[in-house]
């Protein structure tokens, strides 16, 4: 009994350790600036002043829409192309199939540091700097997604595919009409991981986007924090960080089970 | 004929991948091999400089400094991550209330952007007004220069990174712990095994793959640190948080030394592959797999 109590005390302490800083961030972002130096957990009055400052100083709403557009485009592309290549690798016979598979495995082990500079130069030469193309196109193919789909499709009975072929479906119809509805867990896993990774990506946008109206949300918030425009106003900084956290936290609250499952089955982190 | 047709469909379906691979991976790698022998700022014409970039790299204080910084990060981050994750996984593996709730709470920082976490911890680490130093002062202890002391800055980032990622490893360790059949422990109890023996011979083998993953992913993570020092310290104080990627970024996009930045990128990548390879060999030998 005592042991159980100790365990719960430790767990509650641990839970607070991971959640309390976020509560503090939200509560401080809602406090009037003169209350920030105190340790009060709940501000005496709720003030939207910090949020107003953020919206006035940086195009954060625009950045939110940019991020949404970029992340959704990448996720859609990765699902469509990833499942297509995964299908070819798992169910079709052609020479060189194994080679393609090894190439994909090779790219998974390749550190991104090596391609960072030459990829930027490519963007310059394509004249894609300061366009969404540079944010989206390099990410449309994802080795990890292809492998996930390949593994998943291999577990689907061949009979299902043969039956569809008998009914006169072509390969793309088989993939998107027959296999997709039978692969919802794989679609969710790949979708969540891809969306999260692209929503949180910040190094690449900092490199290829200089035009403020095209910037992504993490980029705008980062530049606000380090660029001096926050004028060391703590409230405004925390308000911008809160705004950046809200979309993904909301998604997490609703799809929590899928988030944890997706990330642990793949053992991948951002 | 049908077989042939199916063949073509297969090629057509992997074609987008191959095109994408050629443009965005194969070409950049080849181009970076070429770039390493040149000086170039993108605007003026490229100039062949032979092995100058390699020579410079070998004598570059900042290059070696960033490797040392990464090692400091790893030495603190890896053990801390494993111990913390194992501790909470053990707690969650007991019969407890609200397990799902605790799991979700530990996992929250994993999904939130590194930018948010860094901005938040920058405040927690503040010297005069930061939450951590206020707690220390209330306990009658001295303040710590979390981000302003050259000795503490990288450890502070390592602690923050642990806080951000540990939720994932808690769940992975928990999966490992739950895969051990209860009668193993019962049998060990009957034989009079000590706590340590049970941990060493029953628990450890079941969580070993996860430990392996922590080590590998932390190594890659350490060499990929960017936004944390970018926001908190911009590499300081006294270059103590200058990370590999931050240094490439500075050389490439601040000074526009494309040739040298590509050289740095190549060597860091080779170093990562080498370290991960050695770790893999070492762990495989150690567990006799």
What ipTM is given for this predicted complex? 0.91
Which residue pairs, CB below 8 angstroms and at least 24 apart, start in A66-72?
Answer: A66/A132, A66/A214, A66/A215, A66/A216, A66/A217, A67/A199, A67/A216, A67/A217, A67/A218, A68/A247, A69/A132, A70/A132, A70/A135, A70/A136, A70/A198, A70/A216, A71/A195, A71/A198, A71/A199, A72/A195
**Average pLDDT of chain B to the nearest whole number:** 90
Are A14 and B101 within 8 A, CB to CB?
Answer: no
Are A203 and B227 within 8 A, CB to CB?
Answer: yes
Q: Is the pLDDT of residue B258 over 50?
A: yes
CATH assignment of the domain containing A65: 1.10.3720.10
Query: Between B210 and B168, whose confidence is greater?
Result: B168
CA distance A41 to chain B (A): 12
pTM: 0.92
pLDDT at site B226: 95
Q: Is the pLDDT of residue B5 over 60?
A: no
Lowest mean pLDDT among A101-110, B31-40, B189-198, B243-252: B189-198
CA dihedral (A69, A258, A13, B203) positive or negative: negative
Q: Are residues A179 and A201 in the same domain?
A: yes
List of chain B residues whose C-beta atoms are within 8 Å of the C-beta of residue A116: 245, 248, 252, 265
Pairwise CA distance, residues B258 & B251, whole Å: 7
pLDDT at site B30: 96
Domain range for A260: 56-269
- Chain B touched by A14 (CB under 8 Å): yes
- If you count residue pairs, one on A and one on B, with CB atoms under 8 Å apart, how many are there? 251
pLDDT at site B280: 85
pLDDT at site A138: 97
pLDDT at site A268: 47
Number of domains in chain A: 2
pLDDT at site A41: 66
pLDDT at site B1: 42
Are A140 and B20 within 8 A, CB to CB?
Answer: yes
Closest residue in B to A23 (Cα) is B120
Q: Are residues A148 and A226 in the same domain?
A: yes
Q: Are residues A28 and A118 in the same domain?
A: no
Q: Are residues A43 and A115 in the same domain?
A: no
Q: Are residues A71 and A153 in the same domain?
A: yes
Minimum-distance CB partner of A117 among B110, B244, B261:
B261
CA distance B166 to chain A (A): 10
What are chain B's domains?
56-287 (1.10.3720.10)
Q: What does the DSSP 8-state code read for residue B48?
A: E
Query: Between B6 and B170, whose confidence is greater?
Result: B170
Structural tokens at position B142: 């001295």
Q: Are residues A32 and A74 in the same domain?
A: no
CA distance B97 to chain A (A): 8
Closest residue in B to A245 (Cα) is B112
Q: What is the mean pLDDT of residues B102-119?
A: 93
pLDDT at site A266: 66
Nearest of B263, B224, B274, B215 to residue B66 by alpha carbon: B224
Are B111 and A115 within 8 A, CB to CB?
Answer: no
pLDDT at site A231: 65
Closest residue in B to A8 (Cα) is B96
Nearest of A146, A148, A126, A151 to residue A136 by alpha carbon: A126
Pairwise CA distance, residues B24 & A187, whole Å: 24
Structural tokens at position B258: 């494309």
Q: B-contacting residues of A 141-200, CB under 8 Å?
A: 141, 146, 171, 196, 199-200
Residues of chain A with pLDDT below 70 are 37-41, 230-232, 266-270
Of the three residues A47, A66, A84, the one that is the final residue of a domain is A47
Q: Is the pLDDT of residue B15 over 90?
A: yes
Q: Count, in order, helices (H) and strands (E) of chain B.
A: 14, 2
List of chain B residues whose C-beta atoms are within 8 Å of the C-beta of residue A267: 168, 172, 213, 217
Per-residue pLDDT of B66-109, as tens digits, reads 999 999 999 999 999 999 999 999 899 888 888 888 888 999 99
Query: Between A36 and B219, whose confidence is greater?
Result: B219
List of chain B residues whose C-beta atoms are within 8 Å of the C-beta of residue A111: 220, 223-224, 268-269, 272-273
Q: Are residues A159 and A198 in the same domain?
A: yes
Pairwise CA distance, residues A16 & A10, whole Å: 10
pLDDT at site A270: 34
Q: Are residues A20 and A72 in the same domain?
A: no
Q: Are residues A13 and A81 in the same domain?
A: no
Lowest mean pLDDT among A89-93, B229-233, B240-244: A89-93
| B276 and B219 Cβ atoms separated by less than 8 Å | yes
pLDDT at site A195: 94
Q: Are residues A221 and A202 in the same domain?
A: yes
Q: Which helix (H) or strand (E) holds B47?
A: strand B47-48
pLDDT at site A269: 38
Q: Are residues A164 and A241 in the same domain?
A: yes
| B257 and B41 Cβ atoms separated by less than 8 Å | yes
Are A107 and B227 within 8 A, CB to CB?
Answer: no
Q: What is the mean pLDDT of residues B108-130?
A: 92
Minimum-distance CB partner of B230 among A107, A121, A226:
A226
Q: B-contacting residues of A 234-263, CB under 8 Å?
A: 234, 237-238, 240-242, 244-245, 248-249, 252, 256, 259-260, 263
pLDDT at site A125: 94
List of chain A residues whose C-beta atoms are within 8 Å of the C-beta of residue B272: 111, 113
Per-residue pLDDT of B23-53, as tens digits, reads 999 999 999 999 999 999 988 899 999 999 9
Q: Is the pLDDT of residue B197 over 70?
A: yes
Q: Are residues A70 and A163 in the same domain?
A: yes
């Amino acid at each position: 009994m005592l042991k159980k109590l100790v365990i719960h005390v430790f767990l509650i302490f641990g839970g607070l350790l991971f959640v309390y800083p976020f509560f503090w961030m939200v509560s401080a972002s809602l406090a009037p600036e003169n209350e920030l130096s105190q340790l009060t957990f709940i501000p005496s009055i709720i003030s939207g002043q910090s949020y107003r400052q953020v919206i006035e100083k940086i195009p954060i709403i625009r950045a939110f829409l940019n991020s949404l557009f970029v992340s959704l485009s990448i996720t859609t592309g990765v699902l469509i192309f990833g499942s297509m290549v995964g299908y070819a690798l798992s169910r079709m016979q052609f020479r060189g199939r194994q080679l393609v598979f090894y190439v994909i495995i090779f790219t998974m082990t390749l550190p991104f540091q090596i391609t960072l500079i030459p990829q930027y130069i490519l963007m310059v030469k394509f004249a894609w700097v300061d366009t969404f193309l540079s944010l989206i196109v390099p990410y449309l193919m994802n080795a990890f997604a292809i492998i996930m789909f390949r593994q998943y499709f291999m577990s689907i009975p061949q009979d299902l595919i043969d039956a569809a072929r008998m009914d006169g479906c072509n390969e793309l119809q088989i993939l998107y009409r027959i296999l997709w509805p039978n692969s919802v867990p794989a679609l969710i896993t790949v979708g969540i991981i891809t969306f999260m990774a692209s929503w949180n990506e910040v190094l690449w946008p900092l490199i290829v986007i200089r035009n403020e109206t095209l910037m992504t949300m993490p980029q705008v918030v980062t530049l606000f924090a380090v660029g001096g425009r926050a004028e060391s106003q703590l409230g405004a900084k925390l308000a911008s960080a809160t705004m950046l956290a809200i979309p993904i936290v909301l998604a997490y609250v609703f799809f929590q089970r899928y988030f944890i499952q997706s990330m642990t089955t793949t053992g991948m982190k951002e | 004929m049908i077989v042939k047709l199916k063949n073509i469909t297969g090629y057509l379906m992997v074609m987008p991948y191959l095109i994408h691979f050629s443009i965005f991976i194969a070409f950049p790698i080849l181009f970076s091999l070429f770039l390493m022998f040149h000086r170039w700022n993108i605007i003026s014409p490229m100039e062949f400089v032979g092995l100058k970039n390699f020579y410079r790299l070998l004598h570059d204080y900042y290059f070696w400094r960033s490797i040392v910084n990464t090692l400091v990060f790893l030495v603190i981050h890896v053990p801390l991550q494993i111990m913390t994750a194992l501790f909470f996984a053990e707690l969650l593996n007991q019969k407890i209330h609200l397990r799902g709730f605790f799991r979700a709470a530990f996992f929250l920082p994993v999904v939130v952007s590194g930018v948010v976490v860094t901005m938040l911890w920058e405040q927690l680490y503040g010297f005069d007004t930061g939450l951590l130093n206020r707690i220390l002062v209330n306990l009658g202890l001295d303040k710590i220069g979390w981000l302003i002391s050259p000795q503490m800055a990288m450890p502070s980032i390592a602690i923050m990174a642990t806080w951000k990622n540990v939720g994932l490893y808690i769940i992975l360790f928990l999966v490992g712990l739950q895969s051990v059949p209860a009668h193993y422990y019962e049998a060990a109890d009957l034989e009079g095994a000590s706590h340590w023996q049970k941990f060493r011979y029953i628990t450890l083998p079941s969580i070993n793959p996860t430990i392996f993953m922590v080590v590998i992913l932390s190594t890659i993570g350490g060499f990929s640190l960017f936004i944390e020092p970018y926001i908190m310290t911009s590499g300081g104080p006294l270059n103590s948080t200058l990370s590999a990627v931050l240094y490439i970024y500075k050389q490439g996009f601040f000074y526009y030394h494309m040739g040298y930045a590509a050289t740095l990128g190549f060597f860091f990548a080779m170093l990562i592959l080498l370290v991960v390879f050695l770790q893999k060999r070492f762990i495989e030998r150690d567990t006799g797999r």
